[in-house]
Amino acid sequence: MPTKNLDPINTFPVQQFIQTVKSADASRAKDIRIDIENAKRLAFTLGEVMSRLNGDMEQFIKEHVQNIDNEPVEVQLDGGADWK
């Protein structure tokens, strides 16, 4: 199995954006402004997070589908005796 790159993702731009939104909401602001450098950092961080989640999900599915495919399926028919 290949080794995964588990370097931590710097989520500070996301945290900073969330704090900006909270502050704007608390002050009942109608909009927020973000400079292009912070916007680029936020976009890059969100891309990293989504890529990591996608890779993790693909790995999870790959590992668990093999287990599901190998499990027998048991079906019991009782003629509906306890059906209400």
Confidence of residue 1 (pLDDT cuts 50, 70, 90): very low
Q: How many helices (H) and strands (E) does the chain have?
A: 2, 0
pLDDT tens-digit readout, 34-67: 999 999 999 999 999 999 999 888 888 888 777 6
Q: Left (φ > 0), alpha (ψ -120 to 50) or beta: where does 5 sit? A: beta
**Which residues are within 8 A (CB) of 11 and not within 5 positions of it... i.e. 6 or more apart?**
45, 49
**Is the pTM above the cut of 0.85?**
no
